[in-house]
Amino acid sequence: MPASPPPGYHLADIARGELGEATKVREETEEFLDAVAQNAHIMALVELSDLYGAIEAYLARHHPSTTMADLATMAAITRRAFQSGRRTAQ
């Protein structure tokens, strides 16, 4: 029986995705989780930057009028709602 090839960066078996599609976002997320599991902090940060790029490409293909700044605005609103503990002004 032939020996398995030595692992590369990732120990998990991660399916390749297509740039601009949700599959690439999934791939980069799985690579990030694998880096965290390996306790490889720098690799995890690199994977987060790759994830950012995958999300940016997904937006360009499927939601071209939406920007990463738009997502950042929504993230800030969500953070504000969770920090205040309410969803509407009182």
CB contact set of 87 (below 8 Å; sequence gap of 6+) = 81
Once rounded to an integer, what is the mean pLDDT over residues 28-41? 97
Quote the pLDDT of residue 7: 75
Determine, yes or no, domain membership for 16: no
Rg (the chain; Cα; Å): 17
Q: Is 85 left (phi over 0), alpha (psi -120 to 50) or beta?
A: left
Quote the pLDDT of residue 41: 98
Determine, yes or no, domain membership for 36: yes
Determine, yes or no, domain membership for 30: yes
Contacts 24+ apart (CB under 8 A), 59-65: 60/20, 61/20, 61/21, 62/20
Domain of 36, in residue numbers: 22-84
**pTM of the prediction?**
0.85
Residue 56 has pLDDT above 80, yes or no: yes
Phi, psi of 79 (to 5 degrees): -60, -45
Domains identified in the chain, total number: 1
Determine, yes or no, domain membership for 90: no
